[in-house]
């Protein structure tokens, strides 16, 4: 099995820490390792480094090399532009398929927390086993929802198709992106839905066949890049063609459209630090419900999150349910309730000539 | 008349902007001039610079010279240590009395706002006129209270003693420091109380006589300093004796004890920026009640104060009644209600070996 760690996410809701120039997966939220280093460590313990790829926009290649020095140069897949996940996953698949069209690929997000790494690896192996029997299926790892979260994708399950290494493999009847609250509540109540963990397993040829079927134009671009790979023109073709690929998420472009989708329930301690209010997923609150990272003094304050990586002092007095983030050039103060709306700030900044740089 | 601008206050409740190394009067809260520059400008328009003195702890002499370049070197009264207002006022009085024991001195705080400078000067002149008739009285300018503020001193008035330049001069029956809320409410209701504006007018010999009467030990120290002034040993004596003077406020030591105290009601737009919640005294809130100074973006937020002088961006989202202060090395986030308790933070910092420097 080949493993691809996708490093291209931006994590806009973790602004101002997470920036295009240094997205959230390149930050440490607890302990010393960054999320992407943890993502690499998890698979690096079980797979040889030759089989682990990292895909990232070219603009952050330096940071990837710095944080993940074990990745062989030829396993670093660099995208000349940001074109969303369909193009990124298409590219990684085309590159791996060139050497081995029937390769099984685990395509993994890098901006999540997985507390039980052993369990995670066992689930990847179960998916690999299942693919031997069902090579034309796409597999996802699905997480049992614990709350009606509206920021995640949901996967509706049907009957069990098979057991692989003892793990039940469910047929997927529906894949839905970020639902409204009412729908999310219904999903959680029904017991038939799992969260999309953003961890996929599939055969390279299976996925490329689906690109051909549902996104023929993208496929012809990917094919052009693939043919030129390794030739003297390879880099030029990539640089010319990749930026023309459709900007769409792989979920919309491919996954929601196929009827051969399977999911394995994954009780692996998965958590998404989707926004500042979710930081308790990685850090233990103190007796008053506060989470602090950095140099702080906190008095008469409860249920608050204070994160500083600037070396400056953050002093918080008489607050409740607040998030304070202090980075090199920006301080964010927001109520926990409004954490999800951080994009309002970056949108407003982007529209401002002078302040634009703080959004990027 | 000689004018002394006292620059020795610390303004602890405006931490982290106001620090021992740069107290609040050396900061600008609105517009480009600092509070002490405004204090100097107010009197500098009407009095020659030879008659305007500035008193300050030696440790901040450089900052005084930088912000007030018009002050003649010999008019800068430097205290070798911080010994509270009785010692500071005793020293300035002893120095001025050496040349002219009967000099009238206006001893003025530098950390207040006075919007009507012309009116202020007229009130100083009225006090000067009154002193011709009542040379053994101490005079204060008193501000009509608009709220039961517990952070100010109150002056209880009795009958009108005289009119000076048309201004009524009241006899003072009581001088009380920071009352509790109930007392403050009673004072405001009664209509017989004025706030102590921290602006005093008296004759040098009158004040020194009261030192002799109520603080004989301080007086003997002051006398020793005074005698040595101008001699080669002057600086040494000051440096040796001043730090031994009692650490007490002039209000407690002298003013509350004399029965010859007068006050002139001063409708001069006086305001004290005592804490961050009082910043609206110098800055106009916007339609949502927010006050912003610096580089900010503020969304879905009301009744909040954001002050930054660091050049960094402060982003505030979904907050109410909050104060955010961003200085070079510290960020403070506190509820408006708890602004008065900023000292809790500096006390805790002072007790911490590593964080101590952030309190100073």
Amino acid B29: pLDDT = 83
Rounded distance between C-alpha atoms, residue B254 and residue B212, angstroms: 10
pLDDT of res. A136? 97
pLDDT score, position B74: 94
Which range has the top average pLDDT, A31-35, B116-120, B146-150? B116-120
Alpha carbon B74 to its chain centroid, in Å, reads 22
What confidence category does residue B275 fall into, taking pLDDT thresholds of 50, 70 and 90?
Answer: confident
Size of interface A-B (CB pairs under 8 A): 125
Q: What does DSSP say about strands B112-114 and B270-272: parallel, antiparallel, or unpaired?
A: antiparallel
**pLDDT at res. A165:** 96
Among B313, B334, B344, beta carbon nearest to A330 = B313
Which chain B residues have a beta carbon less than 8 Å from that of A324? 331, 333
Q: What is the mean pLDDT of residues A80-100?
A: 96
User: Does B344 have pLDDT greater than 90?
Assistant: yes
Which DSSP category does B253 fall into? I
Which of B19, B307, B313, B348 should be substituted to probe chain A, the one whose Cβ sees the most A Cβ atoms within 10 Å? B313
Task: Please report the pLDDT score of residue B328 as a whole number.
Answer: 86
A299 interface with B at CB cutoff 8 Å: yes
pLDDT (tens digit, 9 = 90+) per residue, B296-326? 999 999 999 999 989 999 999 999 999 999 9
Alpha carbons B210 and B222: distance in angstroms, whole number: 13
pLDDT in tens, A208-251: 999 999 999 999 999 999 999 989 999 999 999 999 999 999 99
- Picking from B312, B318, B338, the nearest residue to A317 by CB comes out as B338
CA distance A321 to A335: 6
Q: Please report the pLDDT score of residue A282 as a whole number.
A: 78
CB contacts of A319 in chain B (<8 Å) are 322, 333-335
Which pLDDT value is given to residue B170? 98
Most A CBs within 10 A among B13, B310, B317, B345, hence the mutation to make, goes to: B317
What element of type H or E holds B235? helix B234-241
pLDDT digits (tens, 9 = 90+) for B85-112: 999 999 999 999 999 999 999 999 998 9
Residues 152-211 of B with CB under 8 A from A: none
> Is the pLDDT assigned to residue B276 strictly greater than 80?
yes
Please judge whether A295 and B355 are an interchain contact, meaning their C-beta atoms are less than 8 angstroms apart.
yes
- The whole-number pLDDT of residue B12 equals 86
- Say what the pLDDT of residue A273 is: 86
Overall average pLDDT of the A152-177 stretch: 95
Name the residue in chain B with its Cα closest to that of A343.
B317
* Reported confidence tier of residue A180, pLDDT bands at 50, 70, 90: very high
Nearest CA to B269 among B341, B203, B195?
A: B195
**What is the domain partition of chain A in residue ranges?**
2-270, 276-358
Report the mean per-residue pLDDT for chain B: 94
Task: Assess whether pLDDT exceeds 90 at residue A203.
Answer: yes
Residues in chain B within 8 Å Cβ distance of A338:
300, 317-318
Return the pLDDT at B26. Answer: 95
For residue A281, pLDDT over 80 is answered with no
CB B245 within 8 A of CB B221: yes
Residues A2-270: name the CATH superfamily. Spore Coat Polysaccharide Biosynthesis Protein SpsA; Chain A (3.90.550.10)
Please write the tens of the pLDDT for every residue from A294-303: 999 999 999 9
Q: Considering chain A, what is the average pLDDT of its residues? A: 94
Q: What is the DSSP string of A114-168?
A: ES-HHHHHHHHHHHHHHHHH-TT-EEEEEE--SS--SSS-EEEEEEEEEEETTEE
| % of chain B at pLDDT higher than 90 | 87
Which residue spans within A218-290 are E strands per DSSP? 261-265, 270-272
Interface confidence (ipTM) of the complex:
0.83
Of B297, B317, B319, the CB nearest to A341: B317
Whole-angstrom distance, CA of residue B128 vs CA of residue B122 = 10
pLDDT of A345 higher than 80: yes
């Amino acid at each position: 099995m080949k493993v691809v760690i996708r490093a291209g996410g931006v994590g806009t809701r973790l602004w101002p820490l997470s920036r295009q120039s240094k997205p959230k997966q390149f930050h440490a939220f607890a302990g010393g390792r960054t999320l992407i280093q943890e993502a690499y460590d998890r698979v690096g313990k079980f797979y040889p480094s030759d089989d682990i790829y990292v895909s990232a926009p070219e603009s952050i290649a330096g940071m990837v090399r710095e944080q993940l020095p074990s990745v062989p140069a030829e396993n670093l897949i660099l995208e000349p532009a940001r074109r969303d996940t369909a193009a990124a996953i298409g590219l990684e698949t085309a590159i791996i398929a060139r050497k081995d069209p029937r390769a099984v690929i685990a395509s993994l997000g890098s901006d999540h927390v997985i507390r039980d790494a052993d369990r995670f690896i066992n689930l990847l192996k179960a998916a690999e086993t299942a693919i031997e029997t069902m090579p034309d299926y796409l597999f996802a790892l699905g997480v049992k929802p614990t709350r009606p979260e509206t920021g995640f994708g949901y996967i509706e399950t049907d009957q069990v198709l098979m057991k692989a290494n003892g793990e039940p493999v469910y047929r997927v009847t529906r894949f839905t992106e970020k639902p409204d609250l009412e729908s999310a509540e219904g999903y959680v109540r029904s017991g038939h839905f799992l969260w999309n963990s953003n961890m996929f397993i599939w055969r390279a040829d299976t996925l490329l066949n689906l690109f051909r079927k549902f996104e023929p134009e993208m496929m012809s671009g990917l094919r052009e890049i693939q043919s030129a790979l390794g030739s003297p023109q390879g880099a030029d073709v990539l640089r010319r063609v990749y930026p023309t690929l459709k900007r769409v998420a792989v979920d919309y472009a491919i996954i929601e459209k196929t009827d051969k989708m399977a999911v394995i329930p994954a009780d692996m301690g998965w958590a998404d630090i989707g926004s500042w209010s979710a930081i308790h997923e990685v850090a233990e609150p103190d007796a008053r419900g506060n989470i602090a990272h950095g140099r702080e003094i906190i008095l008469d304050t409860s249920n608050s999150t204070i994160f500083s990586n600037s070396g400056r002092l953050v002093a918080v007095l008489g607050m409740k349910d607040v998030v304070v983030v202090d980075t090199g050039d920006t301080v964010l103060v927001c109520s926990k309730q409004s954490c999800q709306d951080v994009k309002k700030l970056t949108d407003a900044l982007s529209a401002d000539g002078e302040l634009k740089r703080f959004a990027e």
